[in-house]
Amino acid sequence: MSATPTVTATAVTRADFFAPTIGKRLAYVGVLAYVVYAAATLGLSLERVQAGLGHGARFLAGFFPPNFTETDIIPGLLESLQIALLSSLIGTALAIPIAVLAARNMMPAAVSSAARLLIAFCRSFHPVIVAIIAVKAVGFGALAGIIALTFASIGFVGKLLAEAIEEISKKQIEAVRATGASFMSVIAFGVVPQVMNRFIGFVAYETDSNLRNSTMVGVVGAGGIGGTLFSAFQRFDYAFVAGIIICIIGLVMIGEVLQIYVKRVFR
């Protein structure tokens, strides 16, 4: 038996491991200062909030009783639903290959950077802005709405799916590659099983989000119930506005329930 060498304990204190960081403190102070500055320059004041509450109350009073009798609610809602489903489907179909190209563990840096740029481009504009451009390009109607929401879907599903692919276990991929499988077979047996669950979640969320957005792109003339809603606003027909809003809430809730059901079927 050899003797264990004696180790002299070194004296340490809390500060050796949890030293306060100047940078973090400066960041807190900076954020606080900016909030105060922003509120001051935008002229926010309590009086304005008080006056606004009064207007709001009169406006809400105009909602009652809601008016459902107008006949263009149902066709508008159906058009919104179609815009949402079609754009989700087309957007997801386009997002899948782009996501594979964007995943840095699947592709060389040059390819993934280019695909990432495309995804970032799709994500940089709000769907309504894309809808305005699409209306200019293809005219009023549902097609413009589908283009706008497809664009958004590519960005959303593409980004999240690319990140999901980057987080998969390399070991499982290595084993499938070692069998002599081709790239597409590695995707089928190594990548898809690892991301499928999350992918279904992304698509369900995206469809849900498209359903909400599809009720809005109509405001700029890109089809769906939004156009009806906007013209009711402009006529100060608040009872009809209330009717439309309640129908939209109903539609989104039905979508929510369907989403739970669809997830259960696919998992």
Partner 1 sequence: MSTLSIKHLVKEYVPGKPVLKDISLDIEGRGITAIIGPSGTGKSTLIRCVNRLIDPTAGEIWFEGKDLATLSGQPLREARRRIGMVFQEYNLVERLTVMENVLSGRLGYMGAWAAWRRKFSDADIQKAFSLLQRVGLADFANRRADELSGGQRQRVGIARAVMQSPGLLLADEPTSSLDPKTSVEIMEIMRDLAADNNIPVMINIHQVELGKRYAERIIGMSGGLVVYDGAPDGLDGEVLRKIYGGQDWLAT
Segment near partner 1 (CB under 8 A), from 144-152, 158-166, 187-195, 215-223? 187-195
Q: How far apart are CA 233 and CA 213, in angstroms?
A: 18
In the bound state with partner 1, the residue whose beta carbon lies nearer, of 56 and 193, is: 193
In the bound state with partner 1, the residue whose beta carbon lies nearer, of 124 and 197, is: 197
67 binds partner 1 (CB under 8 A): no
Segment near partner 1 (CB under 8 A), from 11-19, 164-172, 216-224, 233-241? 164-172
182 binds partner 1 (CB under 8 A): yes
User: What does 33-99 look like in DSSP terms, one character per residue?
Assistant: HHHHHHHHHTT--HHHHHHHHHHHHHHHHTT-S-----TTHHHHHHHHHHHHHHHHHHHHHHHHHHH
Q: How far apart are CA 162 and CA 112, in angstroms?
A: 10
Q: How far apart are CA 215 and CA 222, in angstroms?
A: 10
Alpha helix stretches (DSSP H) within 103-169 = 109-123, 127-138, 142-166
At position 127, the amino acid (one-letter code) is: P
36 binds partner 1 (CB under 8 A): no
Number of residues that bind partner 1 (CB under 8 A): 25
Q: How far apart are CA 28 and CA 143, in angstroms?
A: 47
Segment near partner 1 (CB under 8 A), from 39-47, 51-59, 173-181, 252-260? 173-181
Segment near partner 1 (CB under 8 A), from 93-101, 142-150, 190-198, 228-236? 190-198
245 binds partner 1 (CB under 8 A): no
In the bound state with partner 1, the residue whose beta carbon lies nearer, of 135 and 165, is: 165
Binding residue for partner 1 (CB under 8 A) from 124, 174, 252, 256? 174
Note whether 104 and 115 are within 8 A (CB).
no
- Residue 31: DSSP 8-state: H
Note whether 144 and 135 are within 8 A (CB).
yes
194 binds partner 1 (CB under 8 A): yes
177 binds partner 1 (CB under 8 A): yes
Segment near partner 1 (CB under 8 A), from 120-128, 137-145, 185-193, 240-248? 185-193
Alpha carbon of 16 to those of 11, 19, 26: distances in Å?
A: 10, 6, 21
Binding residue for partner 1 (CB under 8 A) from 197, 235, 250, 254? 197
In the shown chain, the binding pattern of residues 199 to 218 toward partner 1, with x for contact by CB under 8 A and - for none, equals --------------------
The residues that touch partner 1, with contacts defined as CB under 8 A, are: 2, 169, 171-172, 174-190, 193-194, 196-197
